[in-house]
């Protein structure tokens, strides 16, 4: 069975004294531009690399998560291989609604057979990672500005949250992964803003 790597990152953050990037059009160090609403706070790869203590994975909510997954997440942050956007309007003390962006080597399913195989195995794979039963709501192929992409929607690692993910095939072997994770109470708002952000991507 072919396995497709999946980037799933969710966070509790501590804001430190940094100078975040603001503005409508954001030039990512991953080689694309995207329109980011002004109420979204951008943390660049370098800022995250310089401030790995933004993230507190010792919280009890992360206790059931696969330890190897947590190590991968920590390594990704410390090495500066990820960017984060935080919604300052909807985030609160319980959870910071966010979008994370990362690059990875991989391929999305190339046909319906591969797609069905991956979608069928996804709930079990995520449940194993997150340490509890995870429901998947959507798993399908989409076209984003002429680029093939895999679209996923599933329960977030923290109960009461939802993750929406686009795996965009930038080249035959490289994917750019966009994952929005938010509280269920603001899902409709985040979904709408996330879709607009995704449709503004230029690679």
**194-201 CB contacts, 8 Å cutoff, 24+ apart:** 194/99, 194/164, 196/35, 197/34, 197/35, 197/36, 197/37, 197/85, 197/99, 198/144, 198/166, 199/144, 199/145, 200/34, 200/35, 201/32, 201/33, 201/34, 201/144, 201/145, 201/168
Which residue reads 């953050």 in tokens? Answer: 13
Domains and CATH numbers, the chain: 25-199 (3.40.1000.10)
- Report how far apart, in Å, the C-alpha atoms of 28 and of each of 31, 43, 202 are: 6, 11, 10
pLDDT in tens, the chain (203 residues): 344 444 455 544 444 444 444 457 889 888 999 999 988 988 777 776 676 666 555 555 444 444 565 566 666 666 667 888 888 899 887 888 889 899 989 999 999 999 999 999 999 999 988 888 999 999 999 999 999 999 999 998 888 999 999 999 999 999 999 999 999 999 999 999 999 999 999 98
Can you give the pLDDT at residue 78? 65
Of the candidates 202, 129, 138, the one whose C-alpha atom is nearest the C-alpha of residue 165 is: 138
Can you give the pLDDT at residue 18? 44
Can you give the pLDDT at residue 70? 55
CB atoms within 10 A of CB 101: 23
Cα–Cα distance measured from residue 163 to residue 74, given in angstroms and rounded to the nearest whole number: 19
Tokens representing 142 are 């989409």
Can you give the pLDDT at residue 58? 56
Cα–Cα distance measured from residue 21 to residue 33, given in angstroms and rounded to the nearest whole number: 13
């Amino acid at each position: 069975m072919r396995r497709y790597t999946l980037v799933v990152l969710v966070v509790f953050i501590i804001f430190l004294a940094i100078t975040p990037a603001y503005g409508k059009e954001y030039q990512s160090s991953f080689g694309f531009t995207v329109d980011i609403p002004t109420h979204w706070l951008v943390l660049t790869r370098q800022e995250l690399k310089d401030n790995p203590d933004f993230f507190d994975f010792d919280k009890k909510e992360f206790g059931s998560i696969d330890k190897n997954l947590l190590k991968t997440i920590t390594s990704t942050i410390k090495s500066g291989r990820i960017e984060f956007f935080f919604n300052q309007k909807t985030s609160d003390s319980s959870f910071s609604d966010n979008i994370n962006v990362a690059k990875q080597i991989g391929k999305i399913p190339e046909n319906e057979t591969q797609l069905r195989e991956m979608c069928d195995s996804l709930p079990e794979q995520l449940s194993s990672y997150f340490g509890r039963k995870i429901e998947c709501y959507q798993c399908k192929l989409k076209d984003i500005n002429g680029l093939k992409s895999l679209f996923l929607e599933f329960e977030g690692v923290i109960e009461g949250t939802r993750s929406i993910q686009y795996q965009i095939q930038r080249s035959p072997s490289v994917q750019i992964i966009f994952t929005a994770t938010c509280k269920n109470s603001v899902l409709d708002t985040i979904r709408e803003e996330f879709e607009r952000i995704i449709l503004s991507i230029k690679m």
